[in-house]
Amino acid sequence: MSSLQTVQSVAPAHYDELILVIKRALFKDIDTWHGLQAVDYAPYAELIHDHKEFLPRSQMEMDPVYKQIIPYLVFTHENKYFLMQRQAKATETRLQSKYSLGIGGHIRQEDIQGSDLTVWARREFDEEVTFKGNYTIEPLGILNDDSNEVGKVHIGFVFLLHGDSADIQVQSELKSGTLLSLDECMNFYDSMETWTQIIVDFLKNRK
């Protein structure tokens, strides 16, 4: 048993989980762009592999020296997208009750299996939703948004998951979810978390 697992086994309920972070300065071009940018994931996967750190989440949420690595998965089926609403008591208070297209979350040390980002993406998908069907994964790009306090400490690796079934349901911290066209999603635009607004704009522009 690893030392981390030993600590977790005796830790109290309020244990501060250790999450994957990379020093912001290592993303050398991060201050030059905003939004979702299509990139080759390979160099970034190597960067994460070589420089990953696992630090307490409570500290990282307030420390812009680091970027928390977040797989952010958008599910689609027959030109509809799975729009979810977070619960009013979601762990991240700054996102409570917000609408989101993004399935995903923080990566813990015990979640790491190699440096294949699609493996991490699949794990996040299986944790956050219940889906009966098959899907393929399309990398969309990396999302950076320093316009607000949440965005300053996170960076998103965005994937589009093409499912062959509409049988998908929320679990965990998500309150509800439904498949909607992009035009229908726009009815919730003002109540969406910022990352989802950026992705909706990206998807509409590539139609």
pLDDT (tens digit, 0 to 9) for every residue of the chain, 207 residues total?
333 333 333 344 445 789 999 999 998 888 788 999 988 888 888 898 899 999 999 999 999 999 999 999 999 999 999 999 876 554 544 555 789 999 888 888 777 665 677 787 888 888 888 999 999 999 999 999 998 888 899 999 999 999 999 999 887 666 678 999 999 999 999 999 999 999 999 999 886
Is 84 a member of any domain? yes
Is 5 a member of any domain? no
Is 11 a member of any domain? no
Is 30 a member of any domain? yes
At 82, which CATH number? 3.90.79.10
| Residue 127 vs residues 54, 187, 196: alpha-carbon distances, Å | 20, 28, 20
Is 4 a member of any domain? no
Q: State the Cα–Cα distance between residues 188 and 96, nearest whole angstrom.
A: 15
Is 3 a member of any domain? no
Q: How many distinct structural domains can be found in the chain?
A: 1
Residue 79's SS3 state is: coil
Is 148 a member of any domain? yes
**Residue 64 belongs to what H/E stretch?**
none
Q: Print the domain residue range for 199.
A: 16-205
